Structure 1
């Protein structure tokens, strides 16, 4: 047995986790911050200018109940396109949550009469509190946007967007890539699935994930250009890749979003992208990461409005 095979302390190397392993993993997850204080309090402050909709509730027994909220344009107009913004699919990716809320506070009303905004800022509140990637069942919500989803977080968002699915012109999903992806989450994934852990590299900087099945290169370039005014863009590695995927343009890689069950393809929006901010960079602050997410959202909406 190599050190890499035994990197993660839970489970038996080469064997997927049992229910007992998953229970052990869940018991090891410690609440480190408050969804109610950090997120719901900020959402409450938006009620004077937006409609706030509870679209579900997650009941995680001893860990508590978590209401799910979306923020919507107050004067919703059926003939306007819908701009969908999601954050916190992975609860530990902080700037995704707070960047979405900051965008609403600072710029949400800029689009009144031009577009309908639908923002779900914290899709995974249990994981937000525990600074983790998965939900308490050791399921990654961002691989679970499917009709038969076993992740309550993903199923709730799909139900939220179903009535307006055909109206969504643009969807931007706000994420982070962190050092803990490599130190904790990828080893845990390998252990959970009974596979060997293969070390990778963490890119230093911001990048985007386009849909390889429906690419929109000009849209991605517009978002990168806006974010580059706020923070640095991740360079390609020596293989011209970022996290193992070929770089197709400055700061842009591609995934087959629907095939992988990713949030950014929860609708058939013409314009989709997933942001990835690097908060552990020596060249970026938490505030700068939030600002980068805001710049990305604004650029995405502006591009979609001028290229309908």
Structure 2
């Protein structure tokens, strides 16, 4: 995803901490795993001539190889549910055989990310498809998505050259839509995505927020677009994470109704004050660095509802960050703060 990711580091694991009990794996179980799942990631294979493909395979991962043509044996794997061809050299012709492979029509997850595709492949044969990923290709249009099954839960078309959101109206079950790093200018045709929970549109050319009446979205990213206003999110009351960094936003607004908001990222904009978040009682991470916020004078009032919940705040590269006792003032206001800018507290 192109949203600002993990804000806190997970605890490091240690080989010294072994489980108290161990589970014995039988030879039969090992053989069953081998016969149902095959992971050939990063073998730099140019073809699969030397590879045995058990007919019982349910999962086949061919990520990071040098494949350009689909091995015909793959199209005969009638039990196959997950197929990853990520990071290979497939062009449109190289995967043509997928369109007529009735034996694998039960496929639920198809990953074609990071190849050389110039169009959405015809995957209409897969009536139970849940995950479809064609990110990091050379696709100029979303034309062809109308043939993708309406059972789809996750759709990834990031890092292509798509100019318009279209042919997605039938995805009533869709939960995740990723269209970051394209050439989109308008948010449109989202009205029927009534179950959408995550919308990732960073690194496009969008000038205005338009969620088309959707109210169930939990994660929204519009980082690195051309926004000058953040109006348009007011009715998204389920929203938990909002990423709007690297735009031209001048005022914090439309936030007071977002009672479930936990993460708010408005870094690298043109803000001069912290506003409209005093009623938010669940806010944990607040990113306001690289703006024009002059003072901490009204800080306590600005974050009144979340003084006990905010654990991470970024305000560096604002004029207020140069004020005397900057860190001490924030620690006094935010009773459970764990991180201020890059400084982490025990």
Same fold (TM over 0.5): no
Length-normalised TM-score, structure 2? 0.22
Higher relative contact order (CA 8 A, sep 6+): 1
Give the number of the structure whose residues are more often helix, by fraction: 1
- Which entry has the higher C-alpha Rg, 1 or 2? 2
Length-normalised TM-score, structure 1? 0.24
Give the number of the structure whose residues are more often strand, by fraction: 1
